[in-house]
Amino acid sequence: MLKPVYKRLLFPPTTCSFLDVQNTTIIQTAFEDLVSQLDITLTESGRRAIHYINQPSITAESSLSKGIVAQENGRLGEALSFYYNAATFMPNTKEINSRISVLSSNVSGGDIGQNARNLIALRNSWLEILSECDDFLNEHIPFEIIYDPTLKQEGKINYSSGTVDLGFSIMTKPTEGFNMINDVLKGLKKTGKQEEWGFQFWPFLDSPLIYKFLPSGGYAPLWMSHERRVFYENRELIIEVALLDKNGQIISEMRDIIMCNMGTRTYEETWMDLNERGTGFFWKQIAINVNPEKTKKRIVFKNVDANKITDTMTLKILSVDGIDAETVGINGYIRISTGKV
């Protein structure tokens, strides 16, 4: 029995260029050398077959590979160029055409991978900014409370009970805090993505008003009236006020609500046929307008004991939203001052 003869085939280190690797010249040379070491004599046609290369196919595959690498690294323009280059050499290749179709559509439509990642990061950054602004505005109301300490009699004296109603004027006035809101809104609008990101109603919350639903009176086609109404966006402040005599003793105190008018919301009325659930209507919020205004009000101490009224009396705000009046000024919750209202 003959034993097989094993022969070590060697291909010595050979200097070659990147082009030699790319066009497979070095591979063809190595193959021919190894065949000769096996004592195989190639015919001329065999040698031609070894050295025959499909250069268009190689170029197309190389461009496709480069395009894939470029796309994975976010260089989409470069990737698209490589894909189109590959298609010129192998126009009917399914993978090349598929990649061109998807990437071209994304690029022309603005929905590109790297850009999408940037937009997501940008939205998250804006979300963080708006959340920080919301927290700041909750703790630092961009209004000033101004009240006139001059008391005036309201109505007639009640001689039976020996009491009288005394009132004073108070108002809320927007402050420079709205400059911050306006700056943020300008930057947000410049992105062109405010509505797409769901921030179109900032700094107000999106809270459509739902109204009553009426019993169904049978089938009626869906229709919309498109009536619009404007509602004020008010922030309520609960204040406690006291009336002190000349000795600093409280002779009357009360709690009331004052409004801070931050702007308006615009709602559109929509009628809907809900079939078995009935026919009804609701108001859908469609726009906001940040346009703060002064809001004035009269606050009246009811039934003040006339016997306790002295020649000199002091009007004092004790607290705002449960926070001591002195503290709200120190921590910047809201400013309080006296003046003509």
What's the 3-state SS for 221-250? CCCCCCEEEEEEEEEEEEEEEEEECCCCCE
Residues 180 and 88 in one domain: no
Query: Looking at residue 212, what is its pLDDT?
Result: 45
**Angstrom distance (rounded) from CA 29 to CA 224:** 79
Query: Looking at residue 42, what is its pLDDT?
Result: 65
Residues 23 and 60 in one domain: yes
Q: Over 80: is that where the pLDDT of 27 sits?
A: no
Query: Looking at residue 54, what is its pLDDT?
Result: 58
Paired tokens of 299: 């606050």
What is the share, in percent, of the chain residues with pLDDT greater than 90?
33
Query: Looking at residue 138, what is its pLDDT?
Result: 87
Query: Looking at residue 216, what is its pLDDT?
Result: 47
Angle subtended at Cα 312 by Cα 311 and Cα 317, rounded to the nearest 5 degrees: 140
Task: Kindly report the CATH number assigned to the domain that includes residue 64.
Answer: 1.25.40
The CA-based dihedral angle spanning residues 114, 115, 120, 122, taken in that order and rounded to the nearest 10 degrees: 120
Q: Is residue 262 part of a domain?
A: yes
Query: Looking at residue 122, what is its pLDDT?
Result: 82
Residue for token digits 């927007």? 174
Q: What's the rounded mean pLDDT across residues 104-128? A: 67
pLDDT tens column, 210-269 = 554 444 444 444 444 557 888 889 999 999 999 999 999 999 999 999 999 999 988 887
Mean pLDDT of the chain: 78
| 38 and 71 Cβ atoms separated by less than 8 Å | no
Q: Over 50: is that where the pLDDT of 79 sits?
A: yes
Residues 144 and 255 in one domain: yes
Query: Looking at residue 158, what is its pLDDT?
Result: 94
Question: Which residues lie closer than 8 Å to 135 by C-beta, 6 or more apart?
Answer: none
Give the domain range for residue 203.
126-338
Q: What's the rounded mean pLDDT across residues 181-206? A: 86
Query: Looking at residue 258, what is its pLDDT?
Result: 97
Q: Over 80: is that where the pLDDT of 280 sits?
A: no
**Angstrom distance (rounded) from CA 234 to CA 260:** 5
Identify the residue with better confidence: 155 or 80: 155
Stated pTM of the model: 0.62
Give the H/E segment covering residue 4.
none
Query: Looking at residue 167, what is its pLDDT?
Result: 96
Query: Looking at residue 169, what is its pLDDT?
Result: 97
Query: Looking at residue 125, what is its pLDDT?
Result: 82
In the chain, the number of structural domains is 2
Q: Is residue 202 part of a domain?
A: yes
3-state secondary structure of 326: helix
Burial of 218 (0-12, 13-18, 19+ CB in 10 A): exposed
Residues 65 and 135 in one domain: no
Query: Looking at residue 107, what is its pLDDT?
Result: 52
Residues 287 and 146 in one domain: yes
Q: Is residue 251 part of a domain?
A: yes
**Angstrom distance (rounded) from CA 94 to CA 101:** 11
Query: Looking at residue 247, what is its pLDDT?
Result: 92
User: Which pLDDT band holds residue 131 (cuts at 50, 70, 90)?
Assistant: confident
Q: Is residue 119 part of a domain?
A: no
Q: Is residue 192 part of a domain?
A: yes
Query: Looking at residue 112, what is its pLDDT?
Result: 47
pLDDT tens column, 295-313 = 999 999 999 999 999 989 9
Burial of 165 (0-12, 13-18, 19+ CB in 10 A): middle
